[in-house]
Amino acid sequence: MIRVEKNLAQNTVEAYERDISRYLKFLEEEKKVTSIRRVKDSQIREFIRALSDLELAPSTLHRNFSAIRSYHDFLVESEITDESPAQLLVPPKRDQKIPDVLSIEEVEQIIGAINSDSDAFVRDKALLEVLYSTGVRVSELCNLEMADIQNKSGVLRIKGKGKKERLVPIGGKAVDVLDNYIKKMRFRLTEKNLDNGKVFLSMNGRPLTRSAVWQILKKWTAESGIKKNISPHTFRHSFATHLLEGGADLRAIQEMLGHESITTTELYTHLDKQYLAEVHKAFHPRW
């Protein structure tokens, strides 16, 4: 039907079908939506944000949004639903924004805000240290398995996009807090055998979801007093930017981030220039 109405090519129709399938799976598994009539506009925004965290091209994000809006319009026209939750949403921009980053001090401030008053503070500290130390995507963090930890070699085996694996170095601080979490907390969470071998678990022993990681980061960011709108991907951007500022080779950063193309990694050279411009403005006497 959509092919006829919009005169779309077969490949585009197939892409739309994949997009809708992924969208419905997200609603069911991540948001626990039991009826398409109960979908909210905020859930659509969360889905697009999750896709953005996968570093999809802006054009792909725009296509996903278009597919979702067309799908809900179809449901309204077919009288399956009364109104479209996507009706008033603004589509994502096609151009790629330079991502926000944290300063080194801000990262330390957020991690330092994690206190022992929380039952899960040992896990949360390990989680954020690993995010910042390795620059992994939130989906890669959630999929990390015990067998992927290679502390003796100082690396983690990461299963990235397209099922491609890479080895990512992990810093000494992250190794220590991760080991502490595994020894002091994780073993208690595995008593119900619901962990599927995953490293980071919820308090009921199930693997953490991307949404849960977002909530953990949101909680400790609020505790730290930092007012920025931060996501797990902000830690990934900060990881890459701080390496570049420290003099790391762009190819090495590309390898650690798991980017197929160096062009994607080159985004961080713009961030570095932006940082230098801010330093110049702050300290040059003629500003």
Annotated active-site residue in 16, 23, 181, 268: 268
Active site residue 284: no
Annotated active-site residue in 72, 125, 210, 233: 233
Active site residue 45: no
Annotated active-site residue in 72, 125, 186, 259: 259
Active site residue 94: no
Buried b (16+ CB within 10 A) or exposed e, 7-35: eeeeeebebbeebbeebbebbeebbebee
Distance of CA 186 to the CA centre of its chain: 23
Annotated active-site residue in 125, 198, 236, 237: 236
Active site residue 275: no
CA distances, 240 to each of 27, 103, 158, 268 (Å): 31, 12, 16, 7
Annotated active-site residue in 137, 186, 198, 210: 137
Q: Which two tokens stand for residue 119?
A: 């039952």
Active site residue 251: no
Active site residue 268: yes
7: left (phi over 0), alpha (psi -120 to 50) or beta: left
Annotated active-site residue in 69, 161, 173, 219: 161
CA distances, 261 to each of 35, 120, 250, 253 (Å): 40, 37, 11, 11
Spatial distance between the Cα atoms of 170 and 176, rounded to a whole number of angstroms = 10
Residues with active-site annotation: 137, 161, 233, 236, 259, 268
